[in-house]
Amino acid sequence: MKRKKLFLQMLVVFAAAGMLVAGSACAEMEELRSTLDDQQKVAVTIYNSDLALVKDVRRLTLPAGECLLAWREVAAGMQPETALLRPLGKSGDFRVVEQSFDFDLLTPGKLLEKYVGRTVQVVRVHPTTGAETVESARVLAANGGVVLRMGDRIETGIPGRLVYPDVPANLRDRPTLVVQLAVGNASRRDLELSYLTGGLSWQADYVAELDPEDAHIDLSGWVTLNNKSGASYEQARLQLVAGDVHRVSRQDMAMRGFEGRAMKAMAAAPAMAEESLLDYHLYTLDRPTTIRENQVKQVALLSASDVAVRKEYLLRGSDYYYRGRHGDLGKKLKAAVYLEFTNSAEAGLGMPLPKGILRVYKNDRAGNAQFVGEDRIDHTPKNEKVRLRLGDAFDVTADRIQTDYEKIASGPQGMVIETAYRLELKNAGDESVTVTTEEPMPGDWQVLRESQAHTKKDAHTAVWKIGIPARGKTVLTYRVRVRY
């Protein structure tokens, strides 16, 4: 029994010694570094809300056992809680033990801060002879200036050139994700690191050229990419998500659920194709593209010719006109100019349009393109209308006057008012136009008399379509009873 007990004790001692040796070997093991030279491919999915999903695949030779992998040149805007490193293929003998994101980048100031409490060398140059002298100094402080202990004295400021013995391990020249791995067998593997990062954004910009008759446009769509993420993406597979993604905070782990769905959507897609992604729309560029750090880049999104448009002059009133006595309600009121088209396949479109700014140009008589207005469009599904306000018409104006006001009844049951109006619409242009006049009506309303027939757009709006001859005018008169 004593021999057996002694034998077991010896086994425990040998096992503990083995663990210490293994731990020491891991601690002393040189850090395995991965750079962009190892990169096999990279995919970037960019959302509207200053957010991007990066999938970086690199080929590495991993040793057996535990080791540290420094994955360099990740985005400085990385959200480390979203980072996921996994092997492509068999993963039974691969395990991530822990990971840390080193974003404290190497600068003279940061290097000095890391050496507080440590010894550096101060090199001075004699101003006359040029001879160098070297003296050891202990860094006492580096906040708002440097404080050094040199021998038996304290010096502030830097009395010479500082020389450091090395760079601290947690101070990097590029943002780096350090991962501690446990690997069963030494092998060459493809590893994929996916993470969310800020600093990458995109927006859609559209350019439309209006034909001489204001009846058709040639439309081009561009995606403007802005990369301030702190990394470059060489020959990346680019995808864009249009839609308003709900985000709670960077720490919201529910975001991982969306992240997983976005990763699964990265299948092969045809040229600048569009597909549904949950309740969003995913656009895929048909070729790799490079997105450099601190770069603004434009990529073609769509192109369509001879898209039918409808131009409208709109004069809109206010419901306060019908609540009191006013008299003159405005001279030379300008009609707003709108363009409208349908996002349909018949019109040469039919792709869901991401929100952005649409700018409209038209050629003058000399054939030079002139800017005539712009408007911001929201996300527009296919077969929906796009409506743009270009500005106010110069030649189409109106004078509005209240010609009568009469209070019919007032009491606990409400108030009844009758009011009458005269609207004189003028057209100084060389072509006849039609002006849509929309009048918001409060309460229960009824048009009693009118010089032209109206239509009821909705429960609170009366609409007149008024034709005006070239260099002429048209007068609209009407009387309304309002109960409220």
* Sign of the four-CA dihedral 186, 187, 188, 192: negative
C-beta separation of 302 from 272 below 8 A: yes
The predicted-structure confidence for 125-143, as pLDDT tens digits, reads as follows 888 888 888 999 999 998 8
pLDDT of amino acid 144: 79
What is the secondary structure of 418-480 as a DSSP string?
A: EEEEEEEEEE-SSS-EEEEEEEE--SEEEEEEESS--EEEETTEEEEEEEE-TTEEEEEEEEE
Rounded distance between C-alpha atoms, residue 474 and residue 256, angstroms:
62
**Exposure pattern of 271-302 as b/e (b: 16+ CB <10 Å)?**
ebebeebeebbbbbbeeeeebeeeeeeebebb
Position 212, amino acid: P
Rounded distance between C-alpha atoms, residue 162 and residue 143, angstroms:
16
Which whole number is the average pLDDT over 77-89?
A: 91
The predicted-structure confidence for 96-108, as pLDDT tens digits, reads as follows 998 888 766 667 8
What is the secondary structure of 115-174 as a DSSP string?
A: TTTSEEEEEEE-TTT--EEEEEEEEEE-SSS-EEEETTEEEES--SEEE-S---TT-BSS
Residue found by looking up tokens 């027939």 in the block: 453
User: Residue 29: which pLDDT band, with cuts at 50, 70 and 90?
Assistant: low
CB neighbour list of residue 128: distance below 8 Å, 6 or more residues apart: none
Rounded distance between C-alpha atoms, residue 146 and residue 114, angstroms:
12
Nearest to 186 by CA among 279, 286, 311, 66: 66
Which whole number is the average pLDDT over 84-102?
A: 86
CB < 8 Å & 24+ apart, contacts of 124-132: 124/159, 124/160, 124/161, 125/160, 125/161
User: Residue 15: which pLDDT band, with cuts at 50, 70 and 90?
Assistant: very low
Work out the number of other CB atoms within 10 angstroms of the CB of residue 443: 16
The predicted-structure confidence for 414-431, as pLDDT tens digits, reads as follows 899 999 999 999 999 999
CA 308 to chain centre: 31
- Which of the 8 DSSP states describes residue 346? T
pLDDT of amino acid 286: 86
Phi and psi, residue 250, nearest 5°: -65, -25
Rounded distance between C-alpha atoms, residue 223 and residue 77, angstroms:
22
The predicted-structure confidence for 233-277, as pLDDT tens digits, reads as follows 999 999 998 876 666 554 443 333 333 333 333 333 334 556 655
pLDDT of amino acid 46: 94
The predicted-structure confidence for 213-234, as pLDDT tens digits, reads as follows 999 999 999 999 999 999 999 9
pLDDT of amino acid 277: 57
Q: Do strands 310-316 and 147-150 pair parallel, antiparallel, or not at all (unpaired)?
A: unpaired
C-beta separation of 184 from 64 below 8 A: yes
The predicted-structure confidence for 377-427, as pLDDT tens digits, reads as follows 998 988 999 999 999 999 999 999 999 999 988 878 789 999 999 999 999
C-beta separation of 138 from 122 below 8 A: no
